[in-house]
Amino acid sequence: MNTFVMAFDSSQQALRAEMLLEQKAIVFEMIPTPSEITAGCALSLSFSAQEVDRIIEIVKAEHIEIRGVFRSNPSSASGDSSFEQWV
């Protein structure tokens, strides 16, 4: 289950990350950034907990700027998933 979201301020940087992760055969999904993180029109990558460290490492090594990494919490009171900042 994809419980982590990496949000970008620049869609170009998100697409750069996408290419690098694809090259390394990492499983992820590109999604519009949940409005709870930012209401802008940026893109995010969602992925499972086991990929978090590897993805952060790749993004740092390539100087890709991120808004942050967020963990979804499906058991919030409202019933919708909410996000807490992870990085």
Partner 1 sequence: MNDTIHQPVIYLDHAATSFPKPESVLQAMQHSMREEAANPGRGGHKMAIAAGRVLMRTRLELSSLFGVSNPSDIAFMPNTTAALNQGIQGCLQPGDHVVTTMMEHNSVRRPLEYMRKKYQVDVDYVTVDEAGQIDLSELRKLCSRKTRLIVCNHSSNLLGSILPIQEIAEIAQSVGAWLLVDAAQSAGSIPVDVKALGIDMLAFPGHKGLLGPQGTGGLYISPSLDLEPLIYGGTGSQSEEVDQPSVRPDRYEAGTPNTVGIAGLGAGVRYIKDIGVSVIGHHEWLLTQYAIEQLSAVRGLRLLGPQLGEPRTGIVSFILESIDPSALAFRLDREYGIAVRAGYHCTPLAHQSANTTLSGAVRSSFGYDTTKKDVEALVDAVRHIASSV
Interacting residues toward partner 1 by CB under 8 A: 9-13, 15-16, 18-19, 30-33, 38-43, 62-65
Q: Which is nearer to partner 1, 16 or 71 (CB)?
A: 16
Structure tokens at 31: 């999604």
Distance in angstroms (rounded) separating the CA atoms of residues 73 and 80? 9
Q: Which is nearer to partner 1, 14 or 55 (CB)?
A: 14
Q: What are phi and psi of 38, to 5 degrees?
A: -155, 140
Question: Do 17 and 28 form a contact (C-beta atoms < 8 A)?
Answer: no
Structure tokens at 54: 């590897």
What minimum distance in Å lies between the beta carbon of 18 and partner 1? 8
What minimum distance in Å lies between the beta carbon of 16 and partner 1? 6
What minimum distance in Å lies between the beta carbon of 67 and partner 1? 9
Question: Do 72 and 29 form a contact (C-beta atoms < 8 A)?
Answer: no
Q: Which is nearer to partner 1, 15 or 27 (CB)?
A: 15
